[in-house]
Amino acid sequence: MITNATTQDLEVGDVALMGVPLDLHSSFLQGPAFALNRIREALQSGAANLTAEDGTDLGATDRVKDTGDLDVFEQRGPEPIAAIEVGAGARIDKGARLLSLGGDHSVAYPLIKAHADRYQGLNVLHIDAHPDLYDQQDIGPLGHGCPFARVMETGKIKRLMQVGIRTMNAHQREQADRFGVEVVDMRNWRSDLTPSFDGPVYLSLDLDGLDPAFAPGVSHHEPGGLSTREVIDLIARFQGQVIGADIVELNPHRDPYGMTAMVAAKFVKEIGARLLR
């Protein structure tokens, strides 16, 4: 069983789960703010166990700790992004490796920024249907379609690779070229793709990177995506030291029978196993 803990309970080498209940930056539907406990329920469900496919049992170690949900409005300002960066930084500064559960994908910007400020030469592996490179959306520059533009503007990301993309329009292609983003779209996807990174790696996993047949519980259904098996294999296979990750965009309002929550829980186990290495 994964134990509950405070930030102060964290020790060097722990894996800290953190919920980020924010969906104010969603452009289409809200709902991802309610995903966190659905993922936790799936993790603790009697229908499965906490063992990853490499044999790592997240429930048999005291190094995996659930530090609860952020109060994303604790700054009492108009924009909760700052609170996310502060909460992430507090956990990283304890020496823990952070696995965040969203929330919409806007949360990736402050999460990655907190890591980039502490890990020089940070690489990012981004799994998604969408490149999320818009300079602006109708909801502003912090919309869930903009986080990787904001991340790359920091100048602190060594390399950004995006996998599973199948909605690249002209503006986002220009942005990808501008920032030097490596894009592996679904037309060019190969099941034996083995990315290799030199230095620390942050993994950002949007569940709509999967085909809706495997993950229907998302706000944006984009056909032609990855299978659950392909994502699991990619998580296990890519080379580099994983130092942080997020899993975002589960929308419980669109999740029949909790199917996508179970997929997210599966990814928690597989990513958690990598973070424990």
Q: Say if residue 208 carries a ligand binding annotation.
A: yes
pLDDT at position 160 over 60 = yes
Say which residue the tokens 């890519």 belong to.
238
pLDDT band at residue 204 using 50, 70 and 90 as cut-offs: very high
pLDDT band at residue 121 using 50, 70 and 90 as cut-offs: very high
Phi, psi values for residue 203, rounded to 5°? -110, 125
pLDDT band at residue 73 using 50, 70 and 90 as cut-offs: confident
Distances, alpha carbon 114 to alpha carbons 69, 83, 122, 124, 188, in Å: 17, 11, 11, 13, 32
- The single-letter code of the amino acid at 225 is G
Q: Say if residue 128 carries a ligand binding annotation.
A: yes
Q: Say if residue 220 carries a ligand binding annotation.
A: no
Contact by Cβ (8 Å): 215, 141: no
Provide the 10 A C-beta neighbour count for residue 164: 28
Q: Say if residue 130 carries a ligand binding annotation.
A: yes
User: For the whole prediction, is pTM greater than 0.95?
Assistant: yes
Average pLDDT for 83-88 = 94
CATH number of 3-275: 3.40.800.10
Average pLDDT for 244-265 = 97
Provide the 10 A C-beta neighbour count for residue 227: 14
* Euclidean distance between CA atoms 231 and 233, whole angstroms: 5
% of the chain residues with pLDDT over 90 = 91
Q: Say if residue 23 carries a ligand binding annotation.
A: no
Q: Say if residue 57 carries a ligand binding annotation.
A: no
Average pLDDT for 217-227 = 98
Phi, psi values for residue 244, rounded to 5°? -175, 160
What is the average pLDDT score of the chain? 96
